[in-house]
Chains A and B, each alone.
Chain A
Amino acid sequence: MKQPTPPLSPDSTPVRTEVHFKRFTLGQRWEHAILLLSATILLLTGLPQKYRDTSWSQYILSTPERVELVQQIHHITALILTALVVYHLGHAILLLARRKLPGNMLVSWQDIRDTWKMTKYLLFLSKEKPEFGKYNFEQKVTYWFIFFGVGIMVVTGFILWFPEAWTRLFPGGIIPAARLSHSTEAIVAAAFVIIWHFFHVLIERLNLSIFTGWLNAEDTRTYHPLEYQRLGGGSTEKSETGDSQ
């Protein structure tokens, strides 16, 4: 628990009020939870299949029945993930049709400029830190990497699940290519999420807003100042100076 900083609270009442801003809808929170669970199950059931020639894999897949069971779990979970992808895309298309798609997750030139600014800032070439909106470029990288990663996994996964059907329309070469891609993309994606996403939401700061739906005013002001202003939290200039704890 943080102590209220004395210079800021001479007039304030002893009751400490914390303002929270709505960050994610219930639907988005459910989407994330399902993605998190299904991806974890898919990874855990996929790894022993990828590394079948290792002893730890053969310890897990100790009988042919277990191999089949693990494959069935993988397939069922894959269907859940596919349903999520369909919902996510369908929902986005629906919002787009109603002209209600926020569009704040789309990559813009501002993100490129922010990346450049941030790199200079991290290398101590500049003291100026870029100011972010609701989604900063780090979060956009996370979203779009997972967006395309899941896309690749779903498509290649279905190629591997129904190779006979796919080769009726496409050349046979896509089967071994899908196998290589499915197997490699999984490892790259898992490593990326651990390095990049886990660092940003667990280590740099604990950000559980995707589970709770709310982000407190202080974090919003610090990490998403433009969003803070948009939500009517006032100018961030003053708060940044008062922010030095």
Chain B
Amino acid sequence: MARFDPHRRWLAFILAGISVLIVGFGFAASAWAQEEPGDTETYCLSCHANPDLAMELPSGESLSLYISPEMLSQSIHSPLGIECQACHTEITSYPHPEVTAQSQRELSLDLYEACAKCHSDNYDKTQDSVHAQVMADGNENAPICTDCHGAHDVHPPDQPRANISTTCGQCHTAILEEYKNSIHGGALIDEDNPDVPVCTDCHGVHNIQDPRTSQFRIESPEMCAGCHADAELMEKYGLPADVYSLYNLSWHGVDVNVYKANWPTIWHESAVCTDCHGVHNIRTTDDPASMVNPANLLSTCQNCHPGVGPNWTGAWTGHNQISLERTPFVYYTDVFYSLFAPIVLWGSAIYVVLKILHILIERTRRSLK
């Protein structure tokens, strides 16, 4: 043990030295960081706070170079110390490198890649989205990060929650109008209801998929069930939570589930929730404009069953448990079989067992004689 004492002393010196260095760097770093906030920003804003600062792009568009200091200070990034240079990495001082973009859009497309530096997970998701596909197909107007989130004025996207839907509505204007008049959209925009779905709840956030595929269609009932099979949530609004489980027992539901399990890529017409209730225009059943309001139900059925008569809607049991009031035919059929089946099967089984026992007992008696 004694032999190693000197080494231990050396080791202690080295460790002490390292900790001094670490602490020293720590102080230096924090001092550097403390100096930094506002520094690059102030430096940049010394020119860019001028509202008239602009340049002409080769496309002929005028590109405003004005950055509102107020807007910047209210964004999420600036107060966290994430400043100009964090995104504009190519600019270190004045004069700036020459702008090579031909148009405003081209410039945005060049610059938005900077988001990926920090938000790589969400950036990667967008690469799988339908928007990225549209972009790859040559539509430069397909949305990039900054189209939805803003560039210098980035805010949390869901404050208030309705902002999410109005953001999508910037391009999907007609759908936003439909949605605003729906039960979901109305509750969102008028009451800031936290439970109703906004666009992203059904379509996903960054990896938004094409909702017109067979796969999206066949999986959509499950999506609705995310809320409409949640007993606690549905109770809050006085809605039944067994609609999905009853749908799954229905003609349509069984069929859809088979396709979902086995052939999700094969387009199938069996009705899913949205075929009858609508998509963005879903309304309450008692709303006269609802597709499933009794006044409109027949024409909704006729979308898939053309030419059916007025009695047809009576075939629909409407996600309801069997009951005498709503579905008398099914009710009486159910009552009949719940009596008939056990009487027939138990009756015949008991008779047969009695007969077997009788034969066995008689045979034993005879052999004993």
* Interface Cβ pair total, 8 Å cutoff: 102
Give the distance in Å from the alpha carbon of A52 to the alpha carbon of B250 in the complex: 12
Chain B contacts of A53 at CB under 8 A?
A: 254, 257-258
> A173–B258 contact, CB under 8 A?
no
State whether the Cβ of A163 lies closer than 8 Å to any Cβ in chain B.
yes
Main SS at interface, chain A: helix
A-contact 0/1 string along B297-309, CB 8 Å cutoff: 0000000010111
> B308–A167 contact, CB under 8 A?
yes
For chain A, the bracket of interface size reads: 35 or more
Which of B328, B329, B349 is in CB contact (< 8 Å) with A195? B349
Distance in angstroms from B254 CB to nearest chain A CB is: 5
> B312–A164 contact, CB under 8 A?
yes
Chain A contacts of B352 at CB under 8 A?
A: 195-196, 199
Chain B contacts of A98 at CB under 8 A?
A: none
Q: Who on chain B is nearest to A149 by CB?
A: B344
B-contact 0/1 string along A131-161, CB 8 Å cutoff: 0000000000000010000000000000000
Which of A61, A121, A164, A176 is in CB contact (< 8 Å) with B308? A164
Binds A, one of B132-140, B186-194, B216-224, B314-322: B314-322
State whether the Cβ of A14 lies closer than 8 Å to any Cβ in chain B.
no
Count chain B CB atoms within 10 A of each CB in A58, A63, A163, A180 and give the residue with the most.
A180
> A167–B314 contact, CB under 8 A?
yes
> B314–A204 contact, CB under 8 A?
no
> B257–A167 contact, CB under 8 A?
no
Q: Who on chain A is nearest to B268 by CB?
A: A64
> A58–B337 contact, CB under 8 A?
no
> A173–B348 contact, CB under 8 A?
no
Interface residues of B in 335-360 (CB under 8 A from A): 337, 340-341, 344-345, 348-349, 351-352, 354-355, 357-359
Chain B contacts of A168 at CB under 8 A?
A: 309, 311
Binds A, one of B52-60, B153-161, B200-208, B259-267: B259-267
Give the distance in Å from the alpha carbon of A39 to the alpha carbon of B149 in the complex: 66
> A204–B309 contact, CB under 8 A?
no
For chain B, the bracket of interface size reads: 35 or more
| A176-B329, A192-B345 known; A52 vs B254 contact (CB < 8 Å) | yes
B-contact 0/1 string along A173-191, CB 8 Å cutoff: 1111101110011011001
Interface residues of B in 65-108 (CB under 8 A from A): none
State whether the Cβ of A232 lies closer than 8 Å to any Cβ in chain B.
no
Give the distance in Å from the alpha carbon of A199 to the alpha carbon of B327 in the complex: 39
Distance in angstroms from A205 CB to nearest chain B CB is: 10
Interface residues of A in 32-50 (CB under 8 A from B): none
State whether the Cβ of B251 lies closer than 8 Å to any Cβ in chain A.
yes
Q: Which positions in B face A, CB cutoff 8 Å? A: 251, 254-255, 257-258, 261-263, 266, 305, 307-309, 311-317, 327-330, 332-334, 337, 340-341, 344-345, 348-349, 351-352, 354-355, 357-359, 361, 366
- 7 new A-B contacts, CB < 8 A, other than A53-B257, A176-B329, A196-B352, are A63-B263, A122-B351, A167-B308, A168-B309, A168-B311, A172-B312, A195-B349
For the complex of A and B, 10 pairs with smallest distance between CB atoms = A172-B314, A173-B329, A172-B315, A175-B315, A177-B329, A167-B311, A196-B348, A177-B333, A122-B354, A184-B337
Between A and B, 11 residue pairs with Cβ closer than 8 Å are A58-B261, A122-B351, A122-B355, A164-B309, A167-B308, A167-B312, A177-B333, A179-B251, A180-B334, A196-B348, A196-B352
